[in-house]
Amino acid sequence: MGNPVILDTDVIIEYIKGNEQAVRFITENEGDTVFGTTAINTFELYLGAQHSPYKDKQLPKLDEFISQLLVLPLTLSASKRAAKIQGELQRKGNSLDFKDLLIGALAIEEGFALKTNNRKHFERIPGLTLI
């Protein structure tokens, strides 16, 4: 088994839309990798679908894909880690959006790497492995 990987919101959206790069990454790694996401990502995904004119088509696809992933809940240890990281970033004048912060902290706490197209934000989280 390969390393476990959290799929960020942007990667899941691209996969559902049929983006070649996202589909190839998941297809090539699905036998070796435990794929997951977080409760924070699912919130972002379902919120986005609510605002879409294609909601009736998107929600079933989203439900089907999410059902195949391990969905990590927010934990106390991830909350503590996120608060510590945010405190350090704020002292440097470089804070992060709380959703990205929680996603990154969960990945670290649960031993997952993060597959994202939004590397710029997540690179600021120490100890987070990005793909």
For 46-87, the pLDDT digits (tens) are: 999 998 888 888 899 999 999 999 999 999 999 999 999 999
Burial bucket for residue 60 (CB in 10 Å: 0-12, 13-18, 19+) = exposed
Q: What percent of the residues of the chain are helix, what percent strand, and what percent coil, each to the nearest 5?
A: 60, 10, 30
pTM: 0.93
6 phi/psi in degrees, rounded to 5: -85, 130
What is the arrangement of strands in the sheet containing 35-38, beginning at the earlier edge strand? 70-72, 35-38, 5-7, 113-115
Q: What is the distance between the alpha carbons of residues 93 and 91, in angstroms, rounded to a whole number? A: 5
Over the stretch 7-51, which tens digit does the pLDDT of each residue have? 999 999 999 999 999 999 999 998 889 999 999 999 999 999 998
Q: Domain spans of the chain? A: 5-122
Q: What is the distance between the alpha carbons of residues 85 and 38, in angstroms, rounded to a whole number? A: 18
Range 5-122: architecture per CATH: 3-Layer(aba) Sandwich (3.40)
Q: What is the distance between the alpha carbons of residues 2 and 31, in angstroms, rounded to a whole number? A: 9
